[in-house]
């Protein structure tokens, strides 16, 4: 469980990025942190594995304050995939990149091999096993970064903007394995602007603006409230925009994904005919 209690954080430059955050994330939850650029989303999640320590208040991971534990120790349970893969990739081959943390955590050789194969396969980068991460495209590097974290099977997985540079099929795969990880009782936290991606996943959302949490709730409530979204520089999903404009015909206004939208329209058309 992650507990955030009256968290304030001020960068050395004097910018107060977080202004009193209170939040509890239970084991096995799937949470999307959304909000405008500079709202403090990345700053907040960097507290979850101790990369940043609170200026005031505290962050507890399974009851232990992040102030009292090293990042190395926290990382075993809380994996963090950076927004920019170039901030975390450095090895000569994709394979070595993925094996690196496993070696550091002291896994046995056989386990390392198995986990590397599993992660390569999961992220569809097996063919690049012997390639330098820096020869890959932006989207592929992003997947390697993800694979290197998933390989050691942390309990909590934080993904900062995981859909950047990913095409539609990769996004669908990403969605599937996030849901799969979540089904395995992993806590998954994504920081994202990608409303269409969130709409298809339907997680709990916290909407941030200017260092504070504006609202905390389910996707179907939050993504269908244009006034709320506007305050956080988010645009409703296209399906929601369509349904909001058809509200006068008595259609529901809390629709965010294509499947449900189609179902509602078909039912409506059948009723009438």
Partner 1 sequence: MAVIETRDLTYTYPGATEPSIKDVSITIDKGDFVILTGPSGCGKTTLCRCFNGLIPHFYNGNLEGKIEVAGLNVADHKIHQIARHVGFVFQNPENQLFALSVEKDVAFGLENFAMPRDEMRKRVDWSLQMAGISELSERPPHELSGGQQQRVAIASVLAMQPEIMILDEPTSFLDPVGAQKIFEVIKELNNKLGITIILVEHRLDLASNYANHVIVMDEGKVVLNGTPREIFTSEEARLIGVGIPKATRMYQQLKQNGVHLKTVPVTTEETVVLLREVLKHA
Q: Which residues bind partner 1 (CB under 8 A)?
A: 13, 35-38, 42, 83-84, 86, 135-140, 161, 164-171, 193-196, 230, 232-235, 237-239, 241-242, 245-246, 249, 258-259, 261-262, 265-266, 268-269, 272-273
Distant-in-sequence, close-in-space partners of 117: CB < 8 Å, separation ≥ 6:
126
DSSP state of 39: S
| Nearest residue (CB) to partner 1, 188 versus 232 | 232
Contact 221, 228 (CB under 8 A): no
Residue 138 C-beta: closest distance to partner 1, Å: 5
Distances (CA, A) of 95 to 69, 85, 172: 29, 15, 24
25 close to 189: Cβ distance less than 8 angstroms: yes
For the chain, how big is the Rg over CA atoms in Å?
Answer: 20
- Residue ranges in the chain assigned as alpha helix (H): 41-45, 71-77, 94-104, 109-122, 138-150, 168-183, 195-201, 219-222, 226-231, 238-245, 258-272
Q: Please, which residue, 74 or 174, has the CB nearer to partner 1? A: 174
Minimum distance from residue 164 beta carbon to partner 1 (Å): 4
Tokens 């903007």 -> residue: 161
Nearer to partner 1, 43 or 115 (CB): 43
List Cα–Cα distances, 255 to 163, 206, 236, 260, in angstroms. Answer: 22, 18, 10, 7
Sort 5 into a burial class: Cβ within 10 Å, 0-12 / 13-18 / 19+. middle
* Residue with smaller CB distance to partner 1, 184 or 262: 262
- In the bound state with partner 1, the residue whose beta carbon lies nearer, of 227 and 272, is 272
The residue among 29 and 97 lying less far from partner 1, judged by its C-beta, is: 97
Give the shortest CB-189-to-partner 1 separation in angstroms. Answer: 18
Least Å distance between CB 252 and partner 1?
A: 13
Nearer to partner 1, 95 or 194 (CB): 194
Full 3-state SS string of 221-271: HHCCCHHHHHHCCCCCCHHHHHHHHCHHHCCCCCCCCHHHHHHHHHHHHHH
For partner 1, the closer of residues 115 and 166 by Cβ is 166
Q: Taking the complex as a whole, how short is the minimal distance between the CB of residue 264 and partner 1, in angstroms?
A: 11
Contact call for residues 187 and 157 (beta carbons, < 8 A): yes
Quote the least distance from Cβ 145 to partner 1, whole Å.
13
User: Looking up tokens 């690049």, which residue turns up?
Assistant: 128
Taking the complex as a whole, how short is the minimal distance between the CB of residue 109 and partner 1, in angstroms?
30
The least CB distance from residue 62 to partner 1, in Å, is 30
């Amino acid at each position: 469980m992650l507990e955030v209690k009256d968290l304030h954080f001020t960068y050395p430059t004097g910018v107060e990025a977080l202004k009193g955050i209170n939040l509890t994330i239970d084991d096995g939850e799937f949470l999307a942190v959304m909000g405008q650029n500079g709202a403090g989303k990345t700053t907040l999640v960097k507290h979850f594995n101790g990369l940043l320590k609170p200026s005031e208040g505290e962050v507890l991971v399974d009851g232990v304050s992040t102030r009292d534990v090293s990042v190395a120790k926290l990382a075993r349970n809380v994996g963090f995939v950076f927004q920019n893969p170039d901030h975390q990739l450095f090895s000569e081959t994709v394979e070595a990149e993925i094996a690196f943390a496993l070696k550091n955590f002291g896994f046995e050789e056989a386990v390392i091999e198995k986990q590397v194969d599993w992660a390569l396969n999961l992220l569809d980068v097996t063919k690049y096993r012997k390639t330098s991460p820096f020869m890959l495209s932006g989207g592929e590097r992003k997947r390697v970064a993800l694979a290197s974290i998933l390989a050691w099977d942390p309990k909590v997985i934080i993904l900062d903007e995981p859909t950047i540079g990913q095409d539609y099929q990769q996004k669908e795969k990403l969605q599937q394995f996030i849901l799969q990880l979540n089904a395995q009782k992993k806590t998954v936290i994504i920081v994202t602007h990608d409303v269409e991606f969130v709409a298809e996943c339907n997680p709990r959302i916290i909407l941030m603006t200017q260092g504070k949490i504006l609202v905390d709730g389910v996707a179907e409530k939050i993504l269908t409230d244009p006034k709320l979204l506007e305050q956080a520089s988010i645009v409703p999903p296209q399906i929601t925009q369509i349904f909001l404009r058809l509200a006068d015909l008595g259609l529901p206004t809390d629709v965010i994904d294509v499947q449900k939208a189609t179902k509602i329209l078909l039912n409506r058309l059948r009723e009438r005919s």
